[in-house]
Amino acid sequence: MKLVNKILFLAVALASSVSSCFALDEAWKNDLRTKFLNNETIIMEVNIRSFNAKDNNEDGFIQENMGEVRGTFLNAIDRLDELKSLGVNTLHVLPITPTGKLKALGTAGSLYAASDFDSLNPDLYDKNSDLTLEEQAKKFIDEAHKRNIRVIVDVPACASYDLFLERPDLFVTTQSGEPVIPADWTDVRLLSVGTEDKIDANVYNLYKDFVKYMMSLGVDGIRADVAHSKTAIFWKELISYSREKDEEFLWIAESSEAWHDAISPQAVFTPYNKLLEAGFDGYYGSFFNLKDWKNPKDLYKQISFTLNETKNFKEDKSVIGSFTTHDEVSPIILKGPQFSEMMIWLSATLPINSYFVDGFQTGDDYMYRKGNRLADVTNTDDDTYFTHRGKIDIFNFSRKPGGEFEELRGEFLLGNNVKQSVLLTLNDGEFTQLKNNNHKKVFSYMFANSIKKVITIGNLDFENNAKVTVKIPRFNPNKQNLLPIKISKMPEAKRGKVHLNLQPGEIVVIIIHELL
């Protein structure tokens, strides 16, 4: 089995490296929208502030007065080859706008508490370089492009209290003139966006200038934070503006069919389908609910909904496989490394865009040793290392993400390479829920065309083994070759059925080829 995996991996990796070499010799041309709509992107979410930080005493946070180094645009370049070698071809960079320091959360300020939208976060500046901050950011993006890695930048939905004090005209206020705090996000205030009949010009121009600025740096697309908190017409105007400059500029909405409520009584709520009609290319499929699914029917329902929904628009649409995001607790904490493996292989065998958070590839639990304790030094009015348990830190200068489960790295790489090799079958093949005799614990589905079948079988019980027999339509061992890709033990296959004894949380991937 290991030999089979190695052969497949080497073949796909060689093909990938050959295609990448050509990209190095050409001037960069954005192709992100096309890649995304074809489900080709393998996205890694990164926080530049911690991406390549040096935490010498391993307390989880960076103390520069002790010689430790925070993440910057320039030292982030050193990790690009690592991500490329793992099959990552797109970065989702968390906000790079300056962060507010008043009424803040954490010692550096939340990445989503933007204090302006027309400059870069000075915390990301490498003082050992003669380059300006803008030049450093552009160099990072250019170096990503040299490695055939595309760059998406996050735009925050709200803004900081600092910006309210400077520009109160940008914000929704109460009758007493106080800015509105959305949800329980105490570090940000609600921006005014207007109505479907009239856009708030001040806020729109703020975002328009941000888009223009990002495009000037070479960014390939934008992920819109809490996109449903703005009107469809707001986004339609902004997306149209970007498309006039670059048809391949990608727009992803942080929105899902599972979300129905506005972030504040004073905020608008635009459902995901209206956002797609406004021009967004993709949204969050509700795969983040996998952690709660105990019955395979929930997974089948989500797959079928996603496949049908993305076909309901005049223009092509797609989703990210949001099994794990910075808003989700680490799968290691939830159900262990088997859960991470399940996410890898579901991402690899569904016609969606694969999406992961930095540190996932080695099983980071995102626990910070001094988290939520008093800090010796702070850059904000908060003197506590505020963190969310089990979620990547976005509030402090924190350690480089990384976990103790190095074996996941190999699974991550193999899954990403397999995804590219079976993508045509996933995109064009027919989706089938396969019948099995353990249908309350085990999911089994197939994507198939006339040449290839991609079969995925998984045990949703993370505590007990599951014996299962899966019926595979039109499977004939005499005319078809069964190739196990991800499996702990060779299956018994006969009479159109596959017999397996799945370990707790185990996921199995099998490819069946027609013999020539």
Q: Determine contact, residues 183/252, Cβ cutoff 8 Å.
A: no
CA distance 39 to 423: 8
Residue located via tokens 């027919």: 430
The Cβ of residue 410 has, within 10 Å, a number of other Cβ atoms equal to: 13
Residue type, 159: A
Give the homologous superfamily in CATH for domain 429-514.
Golgi alpha-mannosidase II (2.60.40.1180)
Tell me the average confidence (pLDDT) per consecutive run of 10 residues in the chain, 516 residues long. 43 44 68 98 98 97 95 98 98 98 98 97 97 98 98 98 97 94 96 96 98 98 98 98 98 96 96 98 96 95 96 95 96 98 98 98 98 96 97 98 96 97 96 94 95 95 96 80 85 84 96 76
Q: Determine contact, residues 405/337, Cβ cutoff 8 Å.
A: yes
Using DSSP's 3-state secondary structure scheme, residue 260 falls into coil
Pairing type for strands 497-502 and 466-471 reads antiparallel
Which residues have a Cβ under 8 Å from the Cβ of 235 and sit 6 or more positions away?
A: 224, 227, 251, 253, 270, 275, 278, 279, 280
DSSP structure string for 159-177: EEHHHHHH-GGGB-B-TTS
Query: What's the N-to-C CA distance of the chain in angstroms?
Result: 23
Q: How far does CA 237 lie from the centroid of its chain?
A: 25
Residues of the chain within CATH 3.20.20.80 domain(s) are 2-57+71-157+196-424
Eight-class DSSP state of 378: -
* Architecture of the domain delimited by 2-57+71-157+196-424: Alpha-Beta Barrel (3.20)
Eight-class DSSP state of 114: B
Eight-class DSSP state of 404: S
Residues of the chain within CATH 2.60.40.1180 domain(s) are 429-514
CA distance 483 to 480: 10
Q: Determine contact, residues 255/227, Cβ cutoff 8 Å.
A: yes
Tokens describing residue 302: 């989500």
CA distance 104 to 91: 27
CA distance 290 to 292: 5
Which residues have a Cβ under 8 Å from the Cβ of 275 and sit 6 or more positions away?
A: 227, 228, 232, 235, 253, 255, 283
DSSP structure string for 329-374: --HHHHH-HHHHHHHHHHHHTSSSEEEEETTGGGT-----TTTTSB
CA distance 242 to 216: 11
Q: Determine contact, residues 336/304, Cβ cutoff 8 Å.
A: no
Q: What is the pTM of this model?
A: 0.94
Using DSSP's 3-state secondary structure scheme, residue 154 falls into strand
